[in-house]
Amino acid sequence: MSGKELISLEKTEVYLLVLFMGLASYFIYMSRDMVWEASLFPQVTAGFVLIGCILIIVGEYLPKSLRSIVKDQGDLFVRTEFAESDLPKNEINNKNNSKRIDDSVITSLLLSIYIILGFMIGLLWATPIFVIAYSLIYKLPKFVAIILTLSSALISLGFLYLLNLPLMEGVVIKMMSFK
């Protein structure tokens, strides 16, 4: 029997559960040498998460009566609060079908690069770069791209001057100034 058949969950859900279990195991392990006031709560919560994740993974093999607590129940009411994410689509100008890589993956990568770049060279410089990159990748109209880039630059400057944030500093710039 292959791994896929043993567990009825989707692959990425299993990864999510493994992440939870990994973190929980780490918390339990690292708290073993702490004083009880510091270790009790993390151990109890991490233990619960660990056991809960295992129950979900082996859900298919649980007795029928227990299976109901690990099985998705659908909406108790007609819709839940998270229907905000399930809104019906409007007339869509959707180019997703023609792309091999999902837009959500691209945006996630762009966000990650934005944050790393900001950490390295400062958010003041990384912010307009992120917006330009986003506009180019998603082929936004030029006029819109310019407005968005200028807006993002103004927002950064606003944070810099009104809130006195160190947005011009990044790890790379700090290293260069030490030299």
Partner 1 sequence: MSEIVEAVKMLLSLNVIIWIIVGILLGMIFGAIPGIGATLGMAIVLPFTISLDGLSAFVTLIGIYHGATYGGSITAILINVPGTAASAASTFDGYVFTKKGRAKEALAISAVASAAGGIIAAIVLILVSPILTEFLLLFGTPENFLMTILGIAMISVVSKGSVMKGYISGVFGLMITTVGIGIMSPTVRFTFDYLPLFDGLSFLALLIGLFAVSEMIILEKKGGGIAEDDPEIKGSLVTGVMHVISNYYLTTKSTMIGLAIGAIPGAGASVSNFFAYSESMRASKNPDMYGQGSEEGLIAAESANNGTVGGSLLPTIAFGIPGSTATAVLLGGFIMHGLRPGPSMFTENLDLTFAMFLTLIIGSILILFLGMTIVVKLAKLTFVNSKYLIPIIMVFSVLGVYAVRNNWVDVFTIAVIGFIGYFMIKYNYSVIAFVLGAVLGPIAEENFLRSLLLQNPDGIVFVTRPLSIILILMTIVMLVSPILEKKQAA
Query: How many residues are given for the chain?
Result: 179
Tell me which residue of 66, 138, 158, 21 sits closest to 29, measured CA to CA.
21
Comparison of 7 and 123: residue with beta carbon closer to partner 1: 123
**Minimum Å distance from CB 4 to partner 1?**
17
Comparison of 7 and 24: residue with beta carbon closer to partner 1: 24
Tell me which residue of 164, 165, 158, 177 sits closest to 122, measured CA to CA.
165
End-to-end CA distance of the chain: 60
3-class secondary structure, 116: helix
- Spatial contact of 128 and 145, defined as CB atoms under 8 Å apart: no
- Spatial contact of 132 and 140, defined as CB atoms under 8 Å apart: no
Comparison of 3 and 74: residue with beta carbon closer to partner 1: 74
Neighbours of 37 (CB within 10 A): 7
